[in-house]
C-alpha cells in the first residue's frame, strides 16, 4: 500500500508542482514561526532568570544599608 502511495505522491508532485511548492512553503513557514516562538520564549525565560538572580544578589547589600545597629541607630 505504501508503494502505491509513494507513486501517487510522486505523480502529484510532477503534475501539480506549483501547488506542492505552495503547500511546502506554508508548512515550512508555520514550522519556522513555531520555532521562533519557542526560541523567543526560551530567551525571555533566561533573561527573567538572569534578572531575578541579579536582583537577589543585590538585595543583601540593600538590607545592610537599611538595617539598624544593635543600639537602635542606623549606621552612617
Helices and strands, counts by H and E, the chain:
2, 0
pLDDT, one tens digit per residue, over 43-65 is 999 999 888 887 877 665 555 55
pLDDT, one tens digit per residue, over 25-48 is 999 999 999 999 999 999 999 999
Whole-number Å distance between alpha carbons of 9 and 20: 10
Question: 0.85 exceeded by the pTM?
Answer: no
Amino acid at each position: 500500500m505504501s508503494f502505491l502511495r509513494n507513486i501517487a505522491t510522486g505523480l502529484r508532485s510532477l503534475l501539480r508542482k506549483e501547488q506542492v511548492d505552495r503547500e511546502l512553503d506554508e508548512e515550512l513557514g508555520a514550522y519556522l514561526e513555531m520555532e521562533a516562538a519557542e526560541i523567543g520564549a526560551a530567551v525571555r525565560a533566561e533573561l527573567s532568570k538572569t534578572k531575578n538572580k541579579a536582583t537577589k544578589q543585590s538585595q543583601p547589600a540593600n538590607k545592610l544599608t537599611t538595617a539598624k545597629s544593635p543600639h537602635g541607630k542606623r549606621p552612617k
